Amino acid sequence: MMMSHCAGRLVVLLLAAVVMCGGVKAQEAARPAAEVSPQDKAAPRIFYTKQGQFEIIVMKAEDAQQPVALGRSVWGALAGPLGLPADGFITPVSVWLVPAEQWNSPAPFLVTVETPGRVNVRVRWSADADPVIVRRAFVQGLILRQAVSWHGVTEKLTVPLWLEQAATTWSLAREKPSMLDSFQQESAGIKEPPALSSLLLWERGAVESRAWELASLWLFLQLQGEPGEASRWGGWIRGVVGGAAPVATLPRSYSGLWPDVLSMEQWWQTAFHYQRKQANLPMMTAESSRFWLADRSRWLGARAGREVVLNLSELRELKKEKWVRDELTVRVQQTQGILGVIHPYYANAAVSLGKLYTAALKGGESDFKEAQASFERDAVDGRELEDEVGAMLNTAPRK
């Protein structure tokens, strides 16, 4: 089944460019695990973020690390807004990173759905692939997979452009919370947002506007934050991705919020400026901080063709692998960027993790061992503090 988004249908969505046109040795163990015979170097390799979430298919194992991390990030950010199943889908979203020299489409990625409900994402892949475009491919595939789980495979399935843009931007903000301030500063230059009906009906094929991308994010957040039953947002989005008319169904889903079309537009114009001016303190919860540290301190590799979790003590030796050096550099930057928003319980652990990765890259053996011991100690201290405070609050007398 193939669908054209511009026609209100879906199963193949031509996106972005069309829219925007726009180591048994330690070193070998560092390579991410492959789901194929280690003798078959030409066969694609398959990695999973988690059962029922994303399946990442690559030709080179070293290409998998960052996409797997991206898949986890996107799923975590959209689990709440999209009501994603806690145990994942029956079939995961399959993402194939196609080498650029084998790519033959004018679009940077394609998303298709097969009759059993399997969603396939094919992405043009190279070292200089635009990370935002790759993120959008993951987002679009995830939204479509949820639509399939809700409605089955029908010709009415759609991924609205505004929702895709909003979910992409939101997943980036959840990964790097300080980005919300940056988005607000960008929005300050937008004196008048697009009309609500125009935004909801935004079609693919035209030059994409940064103002409309930011407006999509603020609408996404405002609708979820409206007082009242939380099910209103989920019910409306479920209908929209199934083909329901977004403008007509919005006032019905949010019954009583707007007496007429004019008041709905006035609400939106006010909501846009409220969201772009709202003082955000993007502090992560203790739970999300703990999960972030667990993810950023976890390394996957392969031994004898089987996937294994590498011990942090191996990193200094494994830096001989280019992908490990590159990933260490990225993770040092990530730990620096998270310090302003990570929960205080885990702030010391984040600092220690950054020092550990810096020592793996540049330090001596004693520096590395000391940094590892500090991280492990700080991580335990953070969890103990979280548990102790939680127990204290649960037993405190209520007035």
Note the pLDDT tens digit of each residue in 42-67. Answer: 688 999 998 999 999 999 888 888 89
Is it the case that residue 320 has pLDDT exceeding 50?
yes
* Both tokens assigned to 88: 């994942």
% the chain with pLDDT above 70: 86
Is it the case that residue 381 has pLDDT exceeding 80?
yes
pLDDT mean over 310-319: 91
Is it the case that residue 241 has pLDDT exceeding 80?
yes
CA distance 311 to 151: 43
pLDDT at residue 302, as a whole number: 74
pLDDT band at residue 94 using 50, 70 and 90 as cut-offs: very high
pLDDT at residue 280, as a whole number: 58
pLDDT band at residue 70 using 50, 70 and 90 as cut-offs: very high
Q: Which pLDDT tens digit goes with each residue over 131-151?
A: 999 999 999 999 999 999 999
Among residues 164, 160, 218, the alpha carbon closest in space to that of 187 is found at 218
CA distance 45 to 264: 50
Backbone angles phi, psi at 102, to 5 degrees: -105, 0
Residue scoring higher pLDDT (4 or 25): 4
Residue scoring higher pLDDT (397 or 85): 85
When the pLDDT of each residue in the chain is averaged and rounded to a whole number, the result is: 84
Among residues 136, 122, 112, the alpha carbon closest in space to that of 16 is found at 136
What is the 8-class DSSP label of residue 31? Answer: S
pLDDT band at residue 127 using 50, 70 and 90 as cut-offs: confident
pLDDT at residue 397, as a whole number: 54
pLDDT band at residue 393 using 50, 70 and 90 as cut-offs: low
Residue scoring higher pLDDT (190 or 111): 111
Is it the case that residue 33 has pLDDT exceeding 90?
no
pLDDT at residue 140, as a whole number: 98
DSSP H or E segment with residue 229: none
* Low-confidence winner among 90-104, 225-239, 259-273 (lowest mean pLDDT): 225-239
pLDDT band at residue 339 using 50, 70 and 90 as cut-offs: confident
Neighbours of 269 (CB within 10 A): 13
pLDDT at residue 110, as a whole number: 96
pLDDT at residue 283, as a whole number: 66
Is it the case that residue 32 has pLDDT exceeding 50?
no
CA distance 166 to 224: 12
Q: Dihedral of the CA atoms 105, 78, 156, 272 (nearest 10)? A: -100
Q: Which pLDDT tens digit goes with each residue over 166-222?
A: 999 999 988 887 788 789 889 988 888 999 999 999 998 877 899 999 999 999 999
Strand, helix or coil at 177?
Answer: coil
pLDDT at residue 337, as a whole number: 78
Q: Which pLDDT tens digit goes with each residue over 263-312?
A: 999 999 999 998 988 765 556 778 888 988 999 999 988 777 777 888 99
Is it the case that residue 335 has pLDDT exceeding 80?
yes
Strand, helix or coil at 257?
Answer: coil
